[in-house]
């Protein structure tokens, strides 16, 4: 806590001096939250309905832990043309892992006290040029329009938003360096580059967008096999260093987004089709060339009725069929996409790879759910959801039913900037979990309970 207070004080002092000396405009926003989580059938990295029993015992395991996050977002406006922005975590991080060394998680009442190191997640400059906005630096790397298939990662970007397009039309072009190794001697080509072009049409009640990504990901080109002789007379031997191989993957992403309000109704949809290939420098039994074929789609239709909002959401994401083992699955639905507490929960490790690895993405998902939000008062709101989900992939001898999930939640504003939130989720595990369970393991229904206190400034 002393480190946090000292850092805040130092930032305030620097900002005050800088503002006085250079007439800068400086402001800070952010949040601090404390969250407690309970996961039934916990496995240390989320929940596992199909392997929930502790070996040799008849009772289920569980996880109970807490975490916190203190994020500040300073903005320093140098003049009408130049602004510097940043995202800083004084505790917690935008990319946590359960039980990690950064101190953001306290597992089973064994919390780390100091909160970990300070993490400067984003820091970038914006320059308003005569032809458009130029953004350069370390920025959020994954968000595009809606939350579906979006990840708030960090990467170095050079972005351009032109200002000479027709009215209501916007565009963005960027180059992203996710990994840069050309300046090192360890490899000739082991970079990851992303290029994106996006265009959108936006009015008061509607936005439609199209985007294209080209992703080139190269790993080390590899080394030749070597061997050396051990001259120790007591145990002479040949030490072998096997050859290593590299790979090159090229990925294309076509994506679209549509959101429109019709009086008291709304529709939001997002789609992404991903294709490409992974080429191995040297093919081996464990390293074969692969085709990349992935498809994800989400549609949400709803109605606003005074204090009640109701809607229906459909989700489709490809998995990996038994007869297409050379293809890759879609993977996570995105760290930001969390409409359901368990199937897409941040801590459950099901379809979203945020705090825990997503364990059922190979199966894909087809789901249809209904959701409702009711504003009881200006301070209190209630929410609920009911969803049925199946696996998309065709796995031999495995039923495709993932199960039914019921969610209940509430949010109460204690103060204008202090909110308490509680969420409960219950998944009635389907036969997919039963039939993919290990020997002598039974699939169990699972539930989660999360409560959070958030202060925003």
Query: Smallest Cα–Cα separation from 319: which of 354, 368, 360?
Result: 360
Question: Could you tell me if 258 and 267 are in contact, meaning their C-beta atoms sit under 8 angstroms apart?
Answer: yes
The DSSP H or E segment spanning 11 is helix 2-22
In this predicted model, what pLDDT tens digit does every residue of 118-130 receive, in sequence order?
778 889 999 999 9
Of 161-165, 203-207, 220-224, 282-286, the range with the lowest mean pLDDT is 220-224
**Pairwise CA distance, residues 366 & 362, whole Å:** 13
CA 279 – CA 81 distance, rounded (Å): 45
Q: What is the pLDDT of residue 93?
A: 56
Name which of 67, 66, 70 is nearest 4 in CA terms: 70
Phi/psi at 306 (5° precision): 55, -105
Residues in the chain: 457
Asked whether 363 and 391 are in contact (CB, 8 A), the reply is yes
Q: What is the pTM of this model?
A: 0.81
**Predicted confidence band of residue 108 (pLDDT cuts 50, 70, 90):** very low
More confident residue, 22 or 332: 332
Tokens matching residue 344? 């897409």
Confidence of residue 114 (pLDDT cuts 50, 70, 90): very low
Distance (Å, rounded) from C-alpha 215 to C-alpha 276? 9
Average model confidence (pLDDT) for the chain?
A: 78
Please check whether residue 388 is in contact with residue 367, taking contact to mean a CB–CB distance below 8 angstroms: yes
Cα dist. 286→190, 258, 282, 283, 290 in Å?
20, 41, 11, 8, 12
Q: For 390-429, how does the pLDDT look when each residue is reduced to its tens digit (9 = 90+)?
A: 998 877 778 889 999 999 999 999 999 999 999 999 999 9
- Distance CA(59)–CA(61), nearest Å, equals 7
Cβ-contact 340, 426 below 8 angstroms: no
Nearest to 327 by CA among 369, 277, 380, 290: 290
Angstrom CA distances, 280 to 262, 285, 331, 378, stand at 50, 11, 21, 58
Cβ atoms within 10 Å, residue 276: 20
Query: pLDDT for 239-279, tens place per residue?
Result: 444 545 567 778 898 999 999 998 899 999 999 998 888 77
Question: Which two tokens mark 137?
Answer: 């630096």
> What is d(CA 409, CA 426) in angstroms, rounded to the nearest whole number?
12
CA gap 334, 165 in Å, rounded = 31
Say how far apart CA 262 and CA 251 lie, in whole Å: 36
Mean pLDDT of 19-30: 73
**CA neighbor of 421 nearest in space, from 453, 449, 448, 447:** 453
Pairing of strands 327-328, 290-305: parallel
Q: CB-hemisphere CA count at 13 Å for 186?
A: 9
Exposure string over 133-172, b if 16+ CB within 10 A, otherwise e = eebbbbbbbbebbbbbbbbbebbbbebbbeeeeeeeebbb
Name the nearest CA neighbour of 162 among 203, 198, 214: 198
What residues contact residue 252 under an 8 Å CB cut-off, 6+ apart? 212, 213, 214, 215, 274, 275, 276
Cα–Cα distance list, 393 to 208, 402, 409 (Å): 30, 12, 31
Lowest mean pLDDT among 9-23, 49-63, 260-274, 439-453: 9-23
Q: What pLDDT is stored for residue 323 in this prediction?
A: 59
Selected residue with higher pLDDT from 154 and 379: 379
- Of the CA atoms within 13 Å of residue 8, those in its CB half-sphere come to 14
User: E strand or H helix at 16, and its extent?
Assistant: helix 2-22
pLDDT at position 67 is 83
For residue 300 the two structure tokens come to 């949400």
How far is the C-alpha of 252 from the C-alpha of 213, rounded, in Å? 6
Interval 208-214 mean pLDDT:
94
| Diameter over CA atoms, the chain | 87
E-assigned strand segments in 281-353: 290-305, 308-317, 327-328
Q: Which of 52-56, 229-233, 417-421, 436-440 has the highest mean pLDDT?
A: 417-421
């Amino acid at each position: 806590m002393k480190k946090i207070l000292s850092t805040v004080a130092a930032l305030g002092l620097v900002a005050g001096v800088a503002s006085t000396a250079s007439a800068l405009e400086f402001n800070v926003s952010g949040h601090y939250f404390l969250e407690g989580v309970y996961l039934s059938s916990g496995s240390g990295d989320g929940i596992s309905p199909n392997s929930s029993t502790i070996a040799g015992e008849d009772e289920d395991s569980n996880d109970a832990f807490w975490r916190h996050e203190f994020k500040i977002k300073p903005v320093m406006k140098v003049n009408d043309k130049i602004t510097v922005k940043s995202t800083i975590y004084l505790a917690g991080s935008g990319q946590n892992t359960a039980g990690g060394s950064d101190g953001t998680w306290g597992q089973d009442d064994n919390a780390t006290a100091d909160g970990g190191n300070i993490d400067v997640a984003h820091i970038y400059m914006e320059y308003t040029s005569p032809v458009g906005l130029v953004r350069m630096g370390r920025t959020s790397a994954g968000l595009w329009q809606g939350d579906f298939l979006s990840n708030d990662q960090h990467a170095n970007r050079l972005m351009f938003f032109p200002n000479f397009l027709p009215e209501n039309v916007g565009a963005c072009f960027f180059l992203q360096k996710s990994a840069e190794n050309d300046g090192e001697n360890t490899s000739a080509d082991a970079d990851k580059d992303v290029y994106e072009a996006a265009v959108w049409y936006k009015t008061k009640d509607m936005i439609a967008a199209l985007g294209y990504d080209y992703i080139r990901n190269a790993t080390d080109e590899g080394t030749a096999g070597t061997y050396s002789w051990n001259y120790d007379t007591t145990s002479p031997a040949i030490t072998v260093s096997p050859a290593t191989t590299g790979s090159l993957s090229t990925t294309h992403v076509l994506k679209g987004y549509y959101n429109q309000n019709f009086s008291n109704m709304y529709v939001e949809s997002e789609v992404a089709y991903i294709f490409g290939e992974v080429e191995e420098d040297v093919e081996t039994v464990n390293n074969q060339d692969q085709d990349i074929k992935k498809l994800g789609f989400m549609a949400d239709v709803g109605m606003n009725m005074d204090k009640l909002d109701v809607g229906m959401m459909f989700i489709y994401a490809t998995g990996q069929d038994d007869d297409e083992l050379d293809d890759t699955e879609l993977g996570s639905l995105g760290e930001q996409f969390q409409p359901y507490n368990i199937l897409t929960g941040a801590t459950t490790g099901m379809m979203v790879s945020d705090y825990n690895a997503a364990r059922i993405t190979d199966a894909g998902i087809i789901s249809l759910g209904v959701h409702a939000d009711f504003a009881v008062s200006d301070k209190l709101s209630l929410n609920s959801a009911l969803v049925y989900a199946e696996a998309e992939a065709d796995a031999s001898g495995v039923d495709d039913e993932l199960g039914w999930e019921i969610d209940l939640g509430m949010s109460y504003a204690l103060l204008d900037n202090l909110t308490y939130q509680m969420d409960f989720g219950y998944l009635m595990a389907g036969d997919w979990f039963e039939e993919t369970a290990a020997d002598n393991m039974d699939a169990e229904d699972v539930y989660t309970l999360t409560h959070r206190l958030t202060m925003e400034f």
